[in-house]
Amino acid sequence: MNRQYYTYIMTNSRGTLYTGMTNNIRKRVWQHKNKLADSFTRQHNITKLVWYYAFRSPMEAIRMEKRIKGWNRDKKIALIKSINACWMDLSKNWFSLAVPNGVRDSSLRSE
């Protein structure tokens, strides 16, 4: 099985941007949406996935995360708009609210 690693950008209703890296994008986004992730995203209500990209190695994803974190806001916004002009939540249909704790499948429970 080929493992994938992701660099992603999330936001809130005020447009605060958060860039992260993970090996399980569904689980990580679910954690952000349920306020189980780090204090910055919990404190700023960062729950909307607006950009992500998959890599074959963790080092590539980490490199991209660091690169994006070094960019100014305008460059980050241009990256988001290049694939998501309307800033839609790309994870909108990933989870069912009817399932207890928002966990729909086993991919959310394991790293």
- Give the Cα separation of 31 and 42 in Å (integer): 10
DSSP calls for the chain: ----EEEEEEE-TT--EEEEEES-HHHHHHHHHTT-S-HHHHHTT--EEEEEEEESSHHHHHHHHHHHHTS-HHHHHHHHHHH-TT---TTTTS--TTSGGG--SGGGT--
In order of their start, the domains of the chain are 5-108 (3.40.1440.10)
Q: What is the pLDDT of residues 60-111, one digit of tens each?
A: 999 999 999 999 999 999 999 999 999 999 999 998 654 445 444 444 444 4
Task: Quote the pLDDT of residue 1.
Answer: 62
Task: Quote the pLDDT of residue 91.
Answer: 96
